């Protein structure tokens, strides 16, 4: 990047995202050396919504791509109060002790609006955040879930290029965030509490079906017996569902971040999963499919924005919606009218 | 429609879809009078892919819209061999005897390719097809599931305008057809067989979750005891899933088209469902949401076709896909390139 380009940045965007004037190669080198300051700045670059930063971020990612993909990507979800932070703290610390390097990311669409619950990651995971082998990044904010989706995926790639070999992506489960996280990870873990029937009320439809393991947390003290019963109940229920991953049986496990029970076991489960699906080719097939799906999903986002943000469409849409829901207009006619307007508008553009 | 326009049709499309030269008003009147010949022709008009027919069909639907929406729309699915035809024959005949007028439609995306299994509806449901209060229409063929979707929805509207007050939409469950049918009906019925665990293998992921009732068919003779056991097992499994319809508990029932047991009961279930959801407002809310979703889904289909069928995009896409799946190109970069090409192409159009 030329100085001129950097000047442009500092003039136009410095008030929004503060970044040093590093070149693409400086970012790439810093990330590859796991320079934590530059790593954090590279992620800030990826998270920036400025067109200049976005373009530079793509240059950086392009050069890092060859060094990505070597981590195991694990998604973690569960209702608030299930103990995600304490689990990740215990799980991540155990992994660091085993010699792994662990990056913790978060997908939290709520944080855009509420400055939400995962923003304070570093204080929630005090022990892990001080561990030199762990890297915790609060969730990206700003924009739609689509934007958060892109930022998290690219942050994951950057962490992989920096040598982190276990990526944990946490979500609070707002909106479509579980599906979003599932679409970017190899293994999806659903944390649960005891008392199957009731607790399930808080778990959204379809979330159990996309999980590779159910993990009953807080299985300690008096709760342990109840956790055992819940585990059996969940396993019976899982018998009726098709597994999230072909060739893998989703089962229920239990753990306690307090006593440490089950923390290593779930890591073993992840490893067996990785081995099995690597042998069948399912592991790589899923990743290829995820990349393609993501490409198509971004293209569709672009198309929808182009169409529905078009001034003439945006102006007409509310009354079209009204006419369709009240049964005065067939959806087919509505779309025909919108398309006619759109096509005449873009053909007049030049 | 002027004679000139009709001439254009017969010249351009007569070899493909044969239709008499009726005016929009003649179609509307014929449908409203339940003239079965004109009703069938109006549906053929809706199913035609010719632009002229499509435009005329929209005129017809527009004039019929005020007379639609009074039927209960029931989707029926189940794996091949579960006995959908015999169930629909028994269920439809019972409804006709009660004074209802029953239209049977089908969504079968496979029939496009294989001249598939639902094409022979009339011979499969011999008794019902001869009943003057029933109208059976083989599944629409030609084109994508999106096309079949539109055709079936509009055929349903035409049948409602002709006075049919129960619409049964059957699907063989190929591809995404269950979700498609769910998106156009009020009540979704999943036919099953005894022997829960094993039979479930044939039922696609997520289908149980969108059903408002599970109906174990062929619960007769020696099978009756096994059906009772299966019913209990399904009900326990359903306890772990959130119901497809807010405020409604999805349960398992059993029936036999042979003995007639349970056929009236499932109609009672549908009626209780309709009453309950009408009281809560959920019935109308779902229909409004369905119309809007359909509008947006058609708009998205249009946008995807416009983009991905664009010659320059279509030419480049295979190598983009290859680069993305092999990890040489990030999905974001790929989309950026495609969008740049597309925008420059449409701005040069004039």
Nearest 5 degrees, angle CA A153-CA A156-CA A161? Answer: 130
Q: What CATH number is attached to the domain comprising B178?
A: 3.40.50.300
Q: Ranked by mean pLDDT, which of A57-66, A115-124, A234-243, B14-23 comes out on top?
A: A57-66
Instruction: Tell me if chain A has a CB within 8 Å of the CB of B314.
Output: no
The string of DSSP letters for B56-110 reads HHHHHHHHHGGG-S-SEEEEEE--TTS-HHHHHHHHHHHHHHTT--EEEEEE-TT
Residues B36 and B173 in one domain: no
pLDDT digits (tens, 9 = 90+) for A105-136: 988 766 544 444 444 555 678 889 899 999 99
Q: Are residues A83 and A218 in the same domain?
A: yes
Tell whether A286 is covered by a domain: no
Shared domain for B33 and B75, answered yes or no, is: no
Phi-psi group of A164: left, alpha or beta (phi > 0 → left; psi -120 to 50 → alpha; rest → beta): beta
Contact (CB, 8 A) for B175 and B109? yes
Lowest mean pLDDT among A223-227, B16-20, B23-27, B278-282: B16-20
In contact, B248 and B221? CB cutoff 8 Å: no
Interface of A with B in 214-253 (CB under 8 A): 236-237, 239-242
Lowest mean pLDDT segment, chosen from A1-10, B24-33, B155-164, B213-222: A1-10
User: A161-173, pLDDT tens digit by residue?
Assistant: 999 999 999 987 7
Are residues B93 and B118 located together in one domain of the fold?
yes
Of B239, B308, B331, the CB nearest to A294: B331
* Residue B156 contacts A, CB cutoff 8 Å: no
- A270 plus A302 within the same structural domain: no
The pLDDT, as a whole number, for residue B142 is 57
User: What mean pLDDT do residues A49-74 have?
Assistant: 93
| CATH for A13 | 1.20.5.170
Whether A252 and A325 share a structural domain: no
Q: Which of residues 119-138 of A touch B (CB under 8 A)?
A: none
Of A75-79, A192-196, A288-292, the one with minimum mean pLDDT is A192-196
Are residues A259 and A111 located together in one domain of the fold?
Answer: yes
Asked, for residue B286, whether it belongs to a domain, the answer is no
Whether B253 is in a domain gets the answer yes
Q: B302 contacts in A (CB within 8 Å)?
A: 335, 339
Structural domain ending residue among the three candidates B247, B280, B313:
B280
Residues of B in contact with A300 (CB under 8 A): 300, 303-304
| B334 lies in the same domain as B268 | no
Q: Give percent of chain B above pLDDT 90.
A: 57
Residue scoring higher pLDDT (B144 or A290): A290
Kindly state whether residue B96 falls inside one of the protein's structural domains.
yes
pLDDT at A1 over 50: no
CB A103 within 8 A of CB A134: yes
Which residues from B are below 8 Å from A306, CB to CB? 303
Mark whether B60 and B74 lie in a shared domain.
no
Q: With an 8 Å Cβ cutoff, are B324 and A66 in contact?
A: no
**pLDDT(A20) > 50:** yes
Domain membership flag for residue B157 = yes
Please, what is the angle between helix A311-325 and helix A331-347, to 10°?
Answer: 170
Same domain for B201 and B90:
yes
Residues of chain A contacting B196 with CB distance shorter than 8 Å: 240
* Most A-contacting residue of B69, B303, B333, B336 (CB-CB within 10 A), to test interface: B303
B15 and B162 inside one domain: no
pLDDT at A11: 33
**Does A304 contact B at CB distance below 8 Å?**
yes
Split at pLDDT 50, 70, 90, the class of B259 is very high
pLDDT of residue B115: 42
- Taking an 8 Å cut-off on Cβ atoms, the answer to whether B330 and A62 are in contact is yes
The pLDDT > 70 percentage for chain B reads 85
Question: B304, A337 in Cβ contact below 8 A?
Answer: no
Cβ of B58 within 8 Å of Cβ of A294? The answer is: no
Q: What letters, b where the CB count within 10 A reaches 16 and e where it falls short, cover A208-244?
A: bbbbbbbbbbbbbeebbebbeebbebbeebbebbbeb
Between chains, do A69 and B288 touch, taking CB under 8 Å as contact? no
> Does the distance separating the beta carbons of A291 and B327 come in below 8 Å?
yes
pLDDT at residue number B12:
35
Taking all residues of chain A, what is their mean pLDDT, rounded to a whole number? 85
Last residue of a domain, one of A280, A301, A328: A280
What mean pLDDT is reported for chain B?
Answer: 85
- The enclosing domain of A310 has a CATH number of 1.10.287.130
Residue B195: its pLDDT value, please? 63
Question: Is residue A146 assigned to a domain?
Answer: yes
Question: What is the β-pairing status of strands B251-254 and B213-216?
Answer: parallel
Range of the structural domain that residue B298 is part of = 291-349
B150/A332 CB distance under 8 A:
yes
Q: How many CB pairs under 8 A join A and B?
A: 148
| Residue A150 contacts B, CB cutoff 8 Å | yes
Query: Which of A255, A280, A305 is the last residue in one of the domains?
Result: A280
Give contacts of B347 with chain A, Cβ < 8 Å.
349-350
pLDDT at A7 over 60: no
Q: Is residue B112 part of a domain?
A: yes
* pLDDT computed for residue A197 by the predictor: 54
Is the CB of residue A318 less than 8 Å away from at least one CB of chain B?
no
In a domain, B49, yes or no: yes
Best mutation target among A79, A233, A295 (most B Cβ atoms within 10 Å) is A295
Report how many domains make up chain B.
Answer: 3
- Is residue A176 domain-shared with residue A233, that is, in the same domain? yes
Which tens digits make up the pLDDT trace of A136-161? 988 766 566 677 788 899 999 999 99
The residue among A305 and A17 whose pLDDT is bigger is A305
């Amino acid at each position: 990047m030329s100085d001129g380009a950097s000047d442009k940045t500092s003039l136009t965007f410095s008030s929004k995202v503060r970044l040093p004037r590093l070149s693409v190669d400086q970012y790439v080198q810093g990330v590859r050396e796991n320079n934590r300051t530059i790593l954090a700045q590279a992620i800030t670059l990826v998270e920036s919504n400025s067109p200049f930063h976005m373009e530079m971020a793509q240059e950086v990612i392009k050069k890092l791509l060859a060094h990505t993909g070597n981590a195991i990507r694990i998604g973690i979800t569960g209702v608030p109060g299930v103990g995600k932070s304490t689990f990740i703290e215990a799980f991540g610390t155990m992994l660091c002790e085993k010699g792994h390097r662990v990056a913790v990311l978060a997908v939290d669409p709520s944080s855009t609006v509420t400055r939400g619950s995962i923003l304070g990651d570093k204080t929630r995971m005090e022990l892990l955040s001080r561990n030199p082998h762990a890297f915790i990044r609060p969730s990206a904010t700003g924009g739609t879930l689509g934007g958060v989706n892109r930022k998290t995926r690219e942050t994951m790639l950057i962490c992989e290029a920096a040598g982190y070999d276990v990526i944990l992506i946490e979500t609070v489960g707002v909106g479509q965030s579980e599906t979003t996280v599932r679409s970017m990870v190899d293994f999806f873990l659903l944390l649960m509490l005891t008392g199957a029937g009731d607790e399930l009320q808080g778990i959204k439809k379809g979330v159990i079906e996309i999980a590779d393991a159910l993990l009953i947390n807080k299985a300690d003290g008096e709760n342990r017996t109840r956790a055992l019963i819940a585990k059996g109940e969940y396993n019976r229920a899982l018998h009726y569902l098709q597994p999230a991953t072909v060739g893998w049986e989703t089962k229920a496990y239990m753990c306690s971040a307090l006593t440490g029970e089950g923390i290593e076991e779930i890591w073993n489960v992840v490893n067996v999963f990785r081995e099995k699906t690597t042998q069948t080719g399912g592991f790589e097939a899923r990743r290829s499919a995820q990349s393609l799906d993501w490409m198509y999903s971004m293209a569709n986002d672009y198309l929808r924005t182009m169409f529905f943000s078009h001034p003439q469409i945006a102006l007409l849409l509310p009354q079209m919606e009204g006419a369709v829901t009240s049964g005065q207009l067939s959806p087919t006619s509505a779309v025909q009218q919108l398309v006619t307007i759109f096509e005449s508008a873009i053909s007049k553009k030049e």
